Structure 1
Amino acid sequence: MTTQSLPQPEYSRNMRLIGHSDQGGKPDGVQVMVHRGYAYIGHMVSQGFSIVDVRDPKNPRPAGFVAAPPGTWNVHLQAHDDLLLVINARDLFADVRFADEKVYYTRSVSETVKGTQQRGWSAGVRIFDISTPDQPKEIGFLGLEGIGVHRIWYVGGRWAYVSALIDGYSDYIFLTIDLADPRHPQVAGRWWLPGMHTAGGETPDWAEGKRYALHHAIISGDTAYASWRDGGLTLLDIKDRAAPQLISHRNWSPPFGGGTHTALPLPDRDLLIVLDEAVLDNQEDGEKLIWVFDVREPSCPVSISTFPQPDERDYVSKGAHFGPHNLHENRPGSFVSSTLIFATYQNAGVRAYDITNPYQPKETAALVPAAPAKMMDTRPGRPQVIQSCDVFVDAQGIIYSTDYNGGLSIIEYLG
């Protein structure tokens, strides 16, 4: 694809679109990993994951698609060394009960799906050998009873960490996975917020309309920084991978709107960047923010600032979701910085921030991709508006961002 045929971004400042891919005709993207010159992209609608050759980022080429088992989505994945880990979970957005997205975001998933008689999906984690990057070979599977896995953290070595909705719990909880033998992965430990273990007799003490569920945890050393949607933030001591222990729990919902999605530790600065996801259209769930926490005393995380909001136009009235969705997560082998932070802002595109002064974060660059050419999201009434979903920045500083409908945007940072 030549630069002449690139979709024209709606807005850009200190960022330039250099490449775009419709991901082999499956432009619905959720998580993206760029590894050894290939992008691995989990799909929201297309039930599988795609591979795009991005060795020349200005000329991305589709390089394969791996289908999910029937009834299953592969929205999130992780690549490191020769392994690719792909989530398997029930395709919830294909379920008519979740046609109104408010149902997904404002109540326990197990409550909504209870009474499902037949198990028509695969739950767990598929493990692929990607020593040949465009020819993944499945070598192992971690099977679970329940809805399945939402997201994974894996950066090599023996341990992976997942959010999983398994039978007996109200929603997704934290599991540690032992990959000593990747062909035979095992669950080692688990942790949940009190009230979630329904089979153990626990009952939720949170308000109606709140969803307590682990989105995912990012691990630094022996600490897991875990985001629990409307349940806030926990720091967990995982020195013993089989027995995680609570260090601290913070929740600011209410008064804020919840949706805590990503907690990115910056260990060299004793800082933690915590992002709350906007989950409803037209800011119906309230203004969502990216917070800076001081975590030098892990038992007492303190919020010291918030990132500025995009304000070059009225994004609330633009339609669909306006607000943060995810951060570039400083994975080993990717671009790693404790002063330059990249985030997706859904209908406000991709943003970069300088937090050299953690008390005064500043936006340094932005790019809002063009509206999607076609809609892949089949839920009724979804607006044809960009929803920049995930962001990955490679070691050379090239930015890759997915969208639920609009394909892969490849962006150069000029800030």
Structure 2
Amino acid sequence: MIASSFLPRARALPARWAAAALWCSLAAAPWALAQTPPKAPSDGVPDKQVAEGKAESLNMRLVGAEPLQGRTAYQPTIQHQGNRWIAYVGHHGDKKMNPLTGKMEDNGTSVVDVTDPKKPKYLTHIPGEEGKAEQGGAQMVRVCAGADLPKGDKSKFYMLRVFGNQAHEIWDVTAPEKPTLLTTIGRGLKGTHKNFWECDTGIAYLVSGHPQWRTNRMTQIYDLSDPAKPVFIRDFGLVGQQPGAGGPVPISLHGPISSGPKGNRVYFGYGTNTDGVLQIVDRDKLLNGPKEPTPENLLAPQVARLDLPPMHGAHTVFPLFGVEIPEFSKNLLGKKRDFIVVTDEAIQKECLEGRQMVWVVDVTTETKPFGVSSWTVPEASGNFCTRGGRFGTHSSNESTAPVFHKKLMFFAHFNAGVRVLDVRNPMNLKEVAWYIPAMTKETVVLETPASMAASGLPFTEASKRRAIQTNNVEVDERGYVYIVDRANTGLHILELTGPARNIADWSAAVKN
């Protein structure tokens, strides 16, 4: 479960500033590239996972794996339900056989019991929209306990998911092996993606493509405090995306993260691998201000906006607030700082784009954000540009589980697996662990000569190579790490070992 009110209240400062001028300071900041230590041997990979190669790892160990019926996977969400831990995994579009039903089913949502992470148990598959890749499936999934929602049934659990690009759905997953559809929101959309749901308030920020808006991804805000009775609040997006606007259409939304009522901020990331935008918004003004989508009303809740360079996006914008910097402990000012960790998404195979990576933005004075560090996996450490598939970041974990929060962050890095960074000083990121799973018989080549030609890109020898494509990552309150693979290799459950494990706060970990 994702905590939604973990952030201290951000300063209420003037909302207007010059993005271009601020980016100049951002570009001039000390973007230090962390150096990756030499690779260590794999530590303890089960035989079934090394059938077609050997996992690569440093300070991480494979605990268990689940093939997810060979489906291409996107978002994992882990929920503690009674005495069980359940993983809900969203899938990109495709069609696969479901051995539990004996039927071919359009990719949707996999439900896996991970109470014993060594022996994950596949419970059920909920079919999604027909289609391939981004045009089908049910990529995004969030879960809230009814006990947390203000108007939810206290005995129930609810799953919010997208239905391809058409709609959003709420399911009753109290019995995770027998989910039932509760209601559908926003039929007839032209896009969906990475939603955020505040479990303590019920407010949901749904990434949608309203038919009348000029973009396929903007924000529709709903009150889902009673999941059976959704209440629409407003539409929101960048100026120029609204109905009736003219000129170029700003880059589409990728996903928001809210700090809830306590922090009173919502952080929006726009773009994936190009023209990224970090937008900081006053939550109270967003929810309670004027709602007609005029330029003035869309700008009213904006606290700050940071435009990234053309070849970088803002896939995930994750807040790290109240970080105490040991180096500045004797300074009168600046010893405690607020940051946003911006993660780009690599889109093109074989490095046929700018390097997508991790950027840290200091927002201690939130109207004047500036860059303080960056990080990427050195390509030569694994010959990643010619290994096959995508190389570069995709996303970070979003859980604020105390065992890891403000200590370690986890980044899905496609053919470089999952990478673990020490973020105790976000101005000086240090890699402390990684894990690249072994390929299996299910691992596929995602691109074909036709798809590459349609993109205007060359189909090379590297294009023919199968490769791990670690797509998304999440952690749970017990300290387990969950990664899922875009190239059909399934779910891997990991744990830290060695010096990396010692950084975590195991006194804060939830016991089974």
Which category of TM-score, normalised to the shorter sequence, fits these structures?
0.7 to 0.9
Alignment map for 1:242-391 (pairs within 5 Å)? 242-243=288-289, 245-254=301-310, 257-269=311-323, 270-311=338-379, 312-331=381-400, 335-375=403-443, 380-381=448-449, 383-391=465-473
The 1-side partners of 2:249 and 2:220 are apart by 22
The 2-side partners of 1:158 and 1:32 are apart by 20
Q: Which string of whole-angstrom CA distances, capped at 9 and with x for unpartnered residues, describes residues 243-266 of structure 1? A: 461111111223xx1221000001
Contact 1:194 1:202 in 2 (8 A): no
Q: Which residue of 1 aligns with 2:42?
A: none
Contact 2:129 2:138 in 1 (8 A): no
Q: Which residue of 2 aligns with 1:413?
A: 496
Q: What is the aligned residue count?
A: 372
Aligned-partner SS, 2:420: strand
Q: Which string of whole-angstrom CA distances, capped at 9 and with x for unpartnered residues, describes residues 282-307 of structure 1? A: 12121112011111111111110012
Q: Which amino acid in the other structure matches residue 388 of structure 2? A: G
Match of 2:188 among 135, 142, 145: 145
The unaligned stretches of length 5 or more in structure 1 are 91-122, 207-211
Matching of residue 63 in structure 1 with residue 63 in structure 2: no
The 2-side partners of 1:15 and 1:336 are apart by 15
Contact 2:209 2:216 in 1 (8 A): yes
Contact 1:20 1:410 in 2 (8 A): yes
Aligned-partner SS, 1:239: helix
The 2-side partners of 1:291 and 1:304 are apart by 8
Q: TM-score, normalised by structure 2?
A: 0.69
Matching of residue 204 in structure 1 with residue 248 in structure 2: yes
Note closer, same or farther for the CA distance 1:144–1:188 as it changes in structure 2 (3 Å cut): farther
Match of 1:222 among 261, 264, 267: 264
Q: Which amino acid in the other structure matches residue 483 of structure 2? A: S
Contact 1:293 1:303 in 2 (8 A): yes
Match of 1:6 among 42, 49, 64: 49
Q: Which string of whole-angstrom CA distances, capped at 9 and with x for unpartnered residues, describes residues 198-231 of structure 1? A: x31322166xxxxx11110111132111110123
Contact 2:127 2:137 in 1 (8 A): no
The unaligned stretches of length 5 or more in structure 2 are 1-44, 96-106, 146-156, 290-297, 324-337, 450-462, 501-512
Q: Which string of whole-angstrom CA distances, capped at 9 and with x for unpartnered residues, describes residues 341-373 of structure 1? A: 111100100010002222210000001112342
Q: Which residue of 2 aligns with 1:187?
A: 232
- Runs of 4+ in structure 1 over 6 Å off: none
Q: Which residue of 1 aligns with 2:73?
A: 29
Contact 1:215 1:227 in 2 (8 A): yes
Aligned-partner SS, 2:63: strand
The 1-side partners of 2:348 and 2:238 are apart by 24
Alignment map for 1:97-136 (pairs within 5 Å)? 123-136=166-179
Give 1 or 2 for the bigger CA radius of gyration. Answer: 2
Contact 1:154 1:160 in 2 (8 A): yes
Percent identity of paired positions between Structure 1 and Structure 2: 27
The 2-side partners of 1:263 and 1:334 are apart by 19
The 2-side partners of 1:321 and 1:216 are apart by 21
The 2-side partners of 1:190 and 1:293 are apart by 27
Q: TM-score, normalised by structure 1?
A: 0.84
TM-superposed deviation, 1:30: 0.6
Give the root-mean-square deviation of aligned CA atoms: 2.1
